[in-house]
């Protein structure tokens, strides 16, 4: 769900910037910073973002840069002339000397340099700003698509590794059975110097070995690996589902480890856990 997008639109002497960033989150968590002129359009902007991005911790900014010449406060010529006439009249009436430098005096008078116009957002300007917002969102979506493709390759690699490790367990399974049989038999001969029923021993051994059988776990884990791949191919909006499948894979791997009772098999289980942990870390990035 991580991503970044930025766009700029030009309207008259203005440059309108839209910037959007997203991080992982279970739901939509949107924060906005919008220039005052465009705040009346905040709900529309939020709707545009929510429709495209669905979820994630999202920061959005919309601001304006204007040409410095357009920002200069205009001089109120009529007011300057009025102040000039009034000051001259007062000086003539009272005998006070007129200012030797008129310009600084007049420019300091109230409202001579004030901006009195009220700005309103025109439809044309909003169309330009909306275009920047839409473009920024699309750039973020493209960023997400590229990240998603990289994640898909990464997941495929990790799933292949787990499948290979799972297959590598098989040669040790028969060896494990023989070692368990030898260990139990040795313990009986060493600690109990009595005769025992060999048929009963074999029956009990088979019962014990069945408890340690991991064929069902192996089959379920193989099914989960296939299901994970199928779910990835289903496309958009499968992040939570992939997380659940990864949890089920973890259960089968843990059970396999607890039943292994064999050093090499347990080493393989540890490697499978490491591969799965990398999948779990990255699945949080999936929508």
Mean per-residue pLDDT, 184-200: 67
Give the residue ranges of DSSP H helices in the chain: 42-53, 68-71, 77-94, 102-107, 123-167, 170-191, 198-211, 215-233, 239-260, 263-283
Mean per-residue pLDDT, 108-135: 82
Query: What is the residue-averaged pLDDT of the chain?
Result: 85
71: pLDDT strictly greater than 60: no
118: pLDDT strictly greater than 70: no
The rounded distance, in Å, linking the Cα atoms of 246 and 227 is 10
Half-sphere exposure of 263 (CA within 13 A, CB side): 1
Q: Are strands 56-66 and 28-34 parallel, antiparallel or unpaired?
A: parallel
Contacts by 195-203 with C-beta closer than 8 Å and gap 24+? none
> For position 196, what pLDDT does the model report?
64
| CA dist 199 → 118, 177, 192, 204, 213 (Å) | 101, 17, 17, 9, 21
> For position 192, what pLDDT does the model report?
59
In this prediction the pTM is 0.65
Question: Residues near 30 by Cβ (< 8 Å), separated by ≥ 6?
Answer: 46, 49, 50, 58, 60
The rounded distance, in Å, linking the Cα atoms of 275 and 157 is 9
With a pLDDT cut of 90, the percent of the chain lying above it is 45
Mean per-residue pLDDT, 261-272: 90
Mean per-residue pLDDT, 141-165: 93
pLDDT band at residue 193, thresholds of 50, 70 and 90? low
Which of the residue ranges 87-91, 95-99, 155-159 has the most confident prediction, judged by mean pLDDT? Answer: 155-159
Would you identify the CATH topology of the domain 3-70+124-142? Ribosomal Protein S5; domain 2 (3.30.230)
The rounded distance, in Å, linking the Cα atoms of 129 and 44 is 12
Cα-Cα-Cα-Cα dihedral sign, residues 132, 138, 139, 144: positive
DSSP code for 228: H
């Amino acid at each position: 769900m991580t991503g970044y997008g930025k766009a700029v639109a030009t309207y008259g002497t203005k440059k309108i910037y839209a910037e959007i960033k997203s991080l992982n989150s279970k739901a939509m968590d949107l924060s906005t910073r919008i220039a005052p002129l465009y705040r009346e359009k905040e709900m529309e902007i939020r709707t545009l973002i929510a429709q495209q991005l669905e979820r994630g911790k999202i920061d959005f900014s919309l601001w304006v840069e204007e040409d410095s010449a357009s920002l200069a406060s205009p001089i109120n010529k009529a007011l300057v002339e009025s102040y000039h006439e009034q000051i001259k009249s007062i000086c003539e009436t009272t005998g006070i000397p007129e200012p030797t430098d008129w310009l600084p005096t007049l420019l300091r008078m109230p409202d001579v340099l004030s901006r009195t116009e009220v700005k309103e957002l025109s439809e044309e300007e909003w169309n330009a700003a909306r275009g920047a917002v839409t473009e920024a969102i699309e750039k973020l979506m493209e960023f997400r698509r590229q990240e998603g493709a990289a994640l898909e390759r990464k997941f495929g690699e990790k799933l292949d590794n787990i499948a290979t490790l799972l297959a590598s367990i098989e040669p040790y399974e028969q060896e494990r059975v023989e070692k368990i049989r030898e260990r139990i038999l040795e313990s009986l001969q060493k600690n109990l110097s009595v005769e025992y029923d060999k048929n009963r021993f074999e029956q009990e051994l088979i019962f014990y070995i069945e408890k340690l059988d991991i064929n069902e776990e192996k089959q379920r884990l193989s099914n989960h690996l296939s299901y994970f791949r199928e779910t990835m191919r289903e496309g958009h909006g499968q992040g939570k589902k992939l997380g659940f499948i990864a949890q089920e894979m973890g259960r089968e791997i843990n059970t396999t480890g607890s039943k292994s009772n064999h050093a090499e098999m347990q080493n393989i289980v540890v490697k499978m856990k490491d591969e799965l942990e990398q999948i779990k870390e990255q699945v949080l990035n999936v929508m």
